A and B are shown apart, each in its own frame.
Chain A
Amino acid sequence: MLRSKASRWVAAPYLVWMAIFIVVPLFIVIWYALTNADGAFTLQNLAEIGRYSSVFARSLLLAAEATIICLILAFPVGYFLSRLRANKQHIMLMLVMLPMWMNFLLRTYAWMTLLEKNGLINKLLGLIGLGPLNMINTSGAVVLGMVYNYLPYMILPLYTAMTKIDDSIIEAAQDLGCSTFQTLLRVLIPLSKPGIATGITMVFVPAVSTFIISRMLGGGSNLLIGDLIELQFLGNSYNLNLGSAMSLALMVIVLLCMSFTSSFDEEEMEGVM
């Protein structure tokens, strides 16, 4: 169907667009990364990244923590939602997505109000005679910010994957003598794998590259890759070449991370998106 030669041409505008605004910019990044300010070829930018390995390590670690926490929190949510009645599912899903429509800077800013030394949480704790806890400007606060902002990205694909699991399969497993834990391990998790994979990428990728969350909740001392890149392009240390090299490194990390998920069937992935 629709496989006439002529209909191929309707993709032409997009192909041109794609070439100019997706492919060319990537090559520009690579080109900047491999040249110095005078435009001569150099590997120094890439070598210099080594100096910032602690930032890369911190970003990876915090993003990984956030991803795991998201997965643990979201898995039951996805499951419960997928077992609701159809019309209830609809509204619950909307409620999961609603926070995403609020500006994410403002939501993160609201966390500042909550977490600060004189913030709301500490005030509440004070009422019952606890605290004050030191929460803001720690790496824990950054992880919290990531979990909070990207949790819906984990819930949605998990939910989508789980709606495809029939109740009868779970019942069958239980009838055959599986404990709850075994059902989870042997049935639920394997069947929701595509959702887990998509969820992991959709949380990990933005988390590893964010610079807003660390700036607002981390106090600027928990520098992440995103901050470092922003610093090179629009901040204190203006250096397009080094910034491009860092972007390149980040891209490689993300591609490696994607190789986790690419091991799943492509069609399945698309259905989940």
Chain B
Amino acid sequence: MQLKRLCTLGAAFLLLPVCATPALAAEEIVVNEDISVSGDYDWTRFANDNITLNVYNWGLYISDGSDDSVDVVSAFEELTGIKVNYTTFDSNESLYAKMKSGGASYDVIFPSDYMVGKLIEEGMLAPLDYDNIPNISAIGEEYLGWDFDPDNTYSVPYMWGTTGLIYNTTMVDEAPTSWSALWDVQYAGNVLMFNNSRDAYAIAAKRAGLSLNPSSVEEVDQVMQDLQDQKSIVQAYVMDEIFDKMEGGEAAMAPYYAGDALTMIEDNPDLAFVHPEEGVNFFVDSMCIPSTCKNKEAAEMFINYMCETSVGYANCDYIGYSTPITAVWEMLDDDLKYSPIAYPGEDVMSKAEVFVTLPDEINAEMDSQWSQMKSYDESGGSWMVVIFLLGAVALSGFNIWRKLRKKMRDNY
């Protein structure tokens, strides 16, 4: 439902003349030539408190100053006097594991929709104080109020996007239009696959015409079987390694996030992207504050900063994902602004589905099935273990016997 609303609103933007004038530019604080932030926010109140914020984000998910981009993190440090310790993760699940084990405490994290829901359920997020995040008003309304956090008590949208199929036009006979291409034997050894359970599951489920949110354990087992069958075709299970591999022509096709596809296509024009006809996953990556955060107000300041137009623009320009900030979208170059990859039309969005937080039981099944799928070996070979164990036991037995014998001999 909401997706529809989103599309119509998106369409409405196209029709409206650009009316948002940069209001009261005089009040803006200019940090550097690319970054300037609103002047009616007290950015410097923690300048002398010697605070360090631990920010945990996806890899390659911020404009970090490489490739002549804008370094938004260091601009934040310059602006506020707060130090940022910026580290990265590569999947929602590893973010969860790291937080759950207590192995680290972060101040700002960037989980996706269903993980936000899961973290809320387990009481791992702190409610946000929107007095410190006035820029929430910059976020387009259609990106707020999703099921995983209906009142946005805990999360502020950072980027959104869709999944799809990225392929190398020189390596496929005809452009794929369906997820089934990833199961096509003619591409055996030429297919890359998501290395995280939820995204991989979503593809197999969509291909089978099912929802990407399984409703029963049996459904999980059935879809995971498809993933297991796919194993002989898959060259490698990857996450961000995909950039190098697809750009270098190592594989013919791979499912990935639309925003990253744009980056890859820019680097290697042979690549192309399609939203498969069975439907795709629509996701919203959000900014949240863990309940263990020590400097919540400073963390909220960081989130507010990330919603500044100039910052949002820098990020959007660099990472290629779709922005929820209306003013940023308006600033984009036309080819990105109207790109069917980043901002797909009604035909794609009507078939897109959002991840919901799964019940524990189904989640556990998915996790364990995923481990098993990954460890499945066609050639079998489990008998090896038995032989090895027997051999080892025999050997250590022999050793003990030998030692005993030696001792006996020494005694006499």
Q: Which residues of A contact B (CB under 8 A)?
A: 51-58, 60-61, 116-118, 134, 136-137, 219-221, 223, 227-228, 231-240, 253, 256-257, 259-260, 262-263
Which residue of chain A is the closest to B372 with respect to CB atoms?
A51
- Of B370, B376, B395, which contacts A236 at CB under 8 A? B370
Tell me whether A233 and B101 are in contact in the complex, defined as CB-CB below 8 angstroms, given that A60-B384, A60-B385 are known contacts. yes
Mark interface residues in B339-380 (1 if CB within 8 Å of A CB, else 0): 000000000000000000000000000011011101111001
Contacts A220-B237, A235-B97, A236-B371 given; does A116 touch B250 at CB 8 Å: yes
User: Once the chains bind, are A53 and B236 in contact (CB under 8 Å)?
Assistant: no
Closest beta carbon of chain A to B114's beta carbon, Å: 14
* Cβ contact within 8 Å between B196 and A57: no
B178 at the interface (CB under 8 A from A): no
Contacts A60-B384, A233-B97 given: A55-B375 contact, CB under 8 Å?
Answer: yes
In Å, the complex CA distance between A53 and B383 comes to 8
Q: Which residues of B contact A253 (CB under 8 A)?
A: 392
B209 proximal to A (CB < 8 A): no
Cβ-defined contact, B236 with A221, below 8 A: yes
Known: A54-B376, A220-B237. A236 touches B385 (CB 8 A): no
Give the distance to chain B from A159, nearest Cβ to Cβ, in Å: 26
Chain A contacts for B372, CB-based, 8 A: 51-52
B45 within 8 A of A: no
B94 within 8 A of A: yes
5 closest residue pairs by CB, A with B: A219-B236, A220-B237, A237-B367, A57-B384, A256-B392
A257 to B396, CA, bound (A): 9
| A223 contact set on B, CB distance < 8 A | 374-375
For residues 223 through 251 of chain B, which have their beta carbon under 8 Å from a beta carbon of chain A? Answer: 231, 234-238, 248-250
Given contact pairs A53-B382, A259-B399, A220 touches B97 in the complex (Cβ within 8 A): no
Give bound CA distance, A260 to B382, whole Å.
23
Known A52-B375, A116-B250; contact A235-B94, beta-carbon cutoff 8 A: yes
- Whether B248 and A54, one on each chain, are in contact in the complex, defined by CB atoms closer than 8 angstroms, is no
Distance from A51 Cβ to chain B, minimum over Cβ atoms (Å): 6
Contact A117 B234 (CB under 8 A): no
- Beyond A60-B385, A234-B97, A235-B93, is A259–B375 a contact (Cβ under 8 Å)? no
Chain A residues near B383 (CB-CB < 8 A): 57
Contacts known (A257-B392, A259-B399); A238 close to B97, Cβ less than 8 A: yes
Question: A52: which B residues are within 8 A, CB to CB?
Answer: 371-372, 375
Taking the closest CB of chain A, its distance from the CB of B32, in whole angstroms, is 33
Look across to chain B and name the residue whose beta carbon is closest to the beta carbon of A257: B392
Q: Within 8 Å of chain A (Cβ to Cβ): is B412?
A: no
- Which residues of A are found within 8 Å of B371, using beta-carbon distances? 52, 228, 231-232, 236-237
**Chain B residues whose CB sits within 8 angstroms of the CB of A118 once the complex forms:** 248-250
**Residue B393 is within 8 A (CB to CB) of chain A in the complex:** yes
**Chain A residues within 8 Å of B384, by CB:** 57, 60-61
**Chain A residues within 8 Å of B195, by CB:** 220
Cα of A221 to Cα of B101 in the assembled complex, Å: 26
Residue of B nearest to A237 (CB): B367
**Which residues of B does A touch, CB under 8 Å?**
91, 93-94, 96-98, 100-101, 103, 189, 195-197, 231, 234-238, 248-250, 367-368, 370-372, 374-377, 380-385, 388-389, 392-393, 395-396, 399, 402-403
Provide the main secondary structure of the chain B interface. helix
- CB of A137 within 8 A of CB of B385, answer no
Specify which of B94, B370, B383 lies most central, judged by the most chain A CB atoms within 10 Å of its CB.
B94
A220 x B392 contact (CB < 8 A): no
Whether B374 pairs with A221 at a CB distance below 8 angstroms is: yes
What would 29 A/B residue contacts be, using CB atoms closer than 8 Å?
A52-B371, A53-B382, A53-B385, A54-B376, A54-B380, A57-B377, A57-B381, A57-B382, A57-B388, A58-B377, A118-B248, A134-B189, A220-B236, A223-B374, A234-B97, A234-B98, A235-B91, A235-B94, A235-B97, A236-B93, A236-B197, A237-B371, A238-B97, A238-B101, A239-B368, A253-B392, A257-B392, A259-B392, A263-B403
B234, B371, B389, most chain A CB atoms within 10 A: B371
Given that A54-B375, A236-B370 are contacting pairs, would A116 and B235 also be in contact in the complex, using a CB cutoff of 8 Å? no
* B42 → A minimal CB distance (Å): 38
**The residue from A58, A237, A256 contacting B370, defined by CB atoms under 8 A apart:** A237
Chain B residues with CB under 8 Å of A51's CB are 372
Pick from A116, A220, A232, A260: contact of B248, CB under 8 Å: A116
User: What distance in Å separates the Cβ of A255 from its nearest Cβ neighbour in chain B?
Assistant: 9
- Find chain B residues with CB under 8 A from A239 CB: 367-368
Centre residue among A228, A238, A259 by max chain B CB count within 10 A: A238
Apart from A51-B372, A54-B381, A239-B368, what 19 extra A-B contacts exist at CB < 8 Å?
A: A52-B372, A53-B382, A54-B376, A56-B385, A61-B381, A116-B248, A136-B250, A137-B236, A220-B195, A223-B374, A235-B94, A236-B93, A237-B197, A237-B370, A238-B96, A238-B101, A256-B389, A259-B395, A262-B399
CB contacts (< 8 Å) of A227 on chain B: these are 374
A238 to B: closest C-beta gap in Å? 4
* Residues on A with beta carbons closer than 8 Å to the beta carbon of B96: 238
Q: Which chain A residues border B231 with CB–CB below 8 Å?
A: 221
Closest A residue to B89 by CB, please name it. A234
Chain B residues positioned under 8 Å from A56 (CB to CB): 385
Nearest to A52 among chain B residues (CB) is B375
Q: Which residues of A contact B98 (CB under 8 A)?
A: 234
Chain B residues with Cβ below 8 Å from A231 are: 371, 374
Residue in A closest to B403 when the chains form the complex, CB atoms: A263
Contact partner, A228, options B97, B236, B375, Cβ 8 Å = B375
A137→B241 CA distance, assembly (Å): 13
- Given the complex of chains A and B, what is the CA–CA distance between A80 and B389 in angstroms? 36
B383 to chain A, nearest CB (A): 8
A220 touches B374 (CB 8 A): yes
A221-B237, A236-B93 known; A256+B393 contact, CB < 8 A: yes
Give the docked Cα–Cα distance between A223 and B374 (Å): 7
Q: Are B101 and A240 in contact (CB under 8 A)?
A: yes
In the complex formed, the residue of A with least CB distance to B99 is A238
Q: How far is the CA of A261 from the CA of B92 in the complex (A)?
A: 43
CA distance A238 to B371 in the complex (A): 11
